[in-house]
Amino acid sequence: MAHTIVTIVGSLRKESFSLKIANAMAKLAPSSLKLDVMTPHGISNFNQDLEASPPADWVAFRERLQKSNGVLFVTPEYNRSIPGVLKNAIDVASRPYGKSSLLGKPTGIVANSPGALGGVAAAKHLQNILPGISGPIMGQPEIYLNGVGDAFNDKGELVKEALQKVLEQYLAAFAAFVEKQNG
């Protein structure tokens, strides 16, 4: 049976590189993983005042995470950090205090950029945010995908062979990490 991995894309843009990467990863994933790709679209803003009676979109998102066997973040870098919509999704998932829907879930981080740095700052910010509210974060291999602007054709299909190899290697390592964590 395949492990279900909620794959959270850190962008709302329909043609985002992060979404294309996540969709490519879903196709490249080994049979032991089933990537459930989603964007934060529709997750309303976190407001602690709503905790007593959380909005339906929060409940649905939290339940989706709770039913999963792991979480994979695929994010661009905005202004040397993660996009606000991704931080909001993390805030919603991590509440109420002490009952994070991410807790115990093996976690992976894939940062990307069409530029030269590959989203390193965004990945590092996730590595700072997630401990204490998530499960174990896969430390190696780290993955910072740079120059992704020409990696896809006009249909959104991955055409850059070097990137495909990197994603396949990462997914194989993540599958082993998830298997180890889930027993």
7-47 pLDDT, tens digit each: 999 999 999 999 999 999 999 999 999 999 999 999 999 99
CATH of the domain at 142: 3.40.50.360
Q: What are phi and psi of 76, to 5 degrees?
A: -80, 175
Q: Encode pLDDT of 46-60 as tens digits.
A: 999 999 999 999 999
Task: With cut-offs at 50, 70 and 90, classify the pLDDT of residue 183.
Answer: confident
Closest-CA residue to 169 (of 8, 30, 38)? 30
Total domains in the fold of the chain: 1
Instruction: Output the pTM of the full model.
Output: 0.97
Q: Give the separation between CA 84 and CA 148, rounded to whole angstroms.
A: 21
Domain hosting 27: range is: 3-46+53-182
